[in-house]
Amino acid sequence: MYRDTNLRSVTKGISWRFVATTTTIIIVYIFFGRLDLAIAAGVIETVLKVGLYWAHERAWFKIKWGRKKIEPFNLWFTGLPLSGKTTLANRVYEELSNFEIPLERIDSKDIRDLIPGIGYTREDRNRHMHRIGHLIKTLQNNSVSTVASFVSPYTESRKAIREMVKNNIVVYVKAELETCKKRDINGKYEKALRGEYENFTGVNDVYEEPQHAEIIIDTDKLSIDESVEVIIKYIKSNYIK
């Protein structure tokens, strides 16, 4: 993906102004046969158009009609390990990117790679959720919406997130435990069952199902495309109208 630098934008503006002014000079010279008159017309046109354009833009900047503010929102994907949170959140993020709104993707694995040493006890997880809540709040203060995916197994930590951020949308990615085990190509569930992992959600640690999720996606019943459609429809109905 390429983005024009300020220098490129300025250069393009100057080159277009040069072409337009030169065209005016040529037209005036053709009709009147006077070079001095043609140059004067070109200069006057340039000054007037630059001034009028500036005044026009300043006027429209103050007019609120036709402008729509999009309140930042947070899509919070929660569910058992291997329920499909990350895959679904990634697809939703890609779809939302088409709306050209300020948007960031936050995933549990990326954060844990960034901040190593985060534990998996209830206390550790709750403390970690508070950090994430502050991160999302900071992004929202800068009008940035977020798509976050975390197991977030405890009711109190999800409640804390809801209280910390604006427009929090809990997406419960629901899947039967056996389904999650079948998707586990790395054998994490088996290792947890053998006691190699402690505090592994769904095996030797509890997952408290959300009771007030805005969206419930049953991945045993819905395809990835159908799931994305449900979530995008919700966002378009409530935030991007």
Structural domain includes residue 134: yes
87: pLDDT strictly greater than 70: yes
Are 128 and 56 in contact by the 8 Å Cβ rule? The answer is: no
Say yes or no: 143 and 182 in one domain.
yes
Residue 3: pLDDT band (50, 70, 90) is low
Residue 1: pLDDT band (50, 70, 90) is very low
Say yes or no: 161 and 198 in one domain.
yes
pLDDT over 70, % of the chain:
98
Q: Which amino acid is at 132?
A: I
Are 54 and 68 in contact by the 8 Å Cβ rule? The answer is: no
Structural domain includes residue 1: no
17: pLDDT strictly greater than 80: yes
pLDDT the model gives residue 63: 81
Separation of alpha carbons 176 and 167, rounded Å: 28
Structural domain includes residue 148: yes
Most confident of 46-50, 58-62, 212-216, 237-241: 212-216
Are 46 and 17 in contact by the 8 Å Cβ rule? The answer is: yes
- Structural domain containing residue 52: 6-62
Count of C-beta atoms within a 10 Å radius of residue 91: 18
Structural domain includes residue 68: no
Say yes or no: 224 and 109 in one domain.
yes
Which of 37, 62, 87 marks a domain boundary?
62
Say yes or no: 120 and 206 in one domain.
yes
User: How many residues does this entry show for the chain?
Assistant: 241
Say yes or no: 40 and 144 in one domain.
no
Q: What does pLDDT average to over the chain?
A: 92
Give CA separation, 227 vs 12, 122, 217, 220, in Å.
44, 30, 6, 11
Say yes or no: 110 and 39 in one domain.
no
137 forms bridges with which residues in the sheet?
none
Structural domain includes residue 67: no
Separation of alpha carbons 45 and 17, rounded Å: 10
**Ordered alpha helix ranges (H), the chain:** 6-32, 35-62, 85-97, 108-114, 122-141, 155-164, 177-183, 188-193, 224-238
pLDDT the model gives residue 146: 97
> 227 an active-site residue?
no
CATH number at residue 148: 3.40.50.300
Which is it for strands 168-174 and 103-107: parallel, antiparallel or unpaired? unpaired
Say yes or no: 168 and 85 in one domain.
yes
Say yes or no: 47 and 123 in one domain.
no
Count of C-beta atoms within a 10 Å radius of residue 183: 16
98: pLDDT strictly greater than 80: yes
Say yes or no: 159 and 233 in one domain.
yes
Comparing 90 with 5, the larger pLDDT belongs to 90
Q: Give residue-wise pLDDT tens across range 144-203.
A: 999 999 999 999 999 999 999 999 999 999 999 999 999 999 999 999 999 999 999 999
Say yes or no: 46 and 152 in one domain.
no
Q: Give residue-wise pLDDT tens across range 116-150.
A: 888 999 999 999 999 999 999 999 999 999 999 99
Structural domain includes residue 48: yes
Separation of alpha carbons 145 and 40, rounded Å: 52
Active-site residue among 145, 152, 157, 227?
152
Are 142 and 74 in contact by the 8 Å Cβ rule? The answer is: no
Say yes or no: 155 and 116 in one domain.
yes
Structural domain includes residue 69: no
Give CA separation, 65 vs 36, 69, 102, 186, 239, in Å.
44, 11, 21, 54, 18
Work out how many domains the chain is built from and give that number.
2
pLDDT over 90, % of the chain:
72
Say yes or no: 53 and 129 in one domain.
no
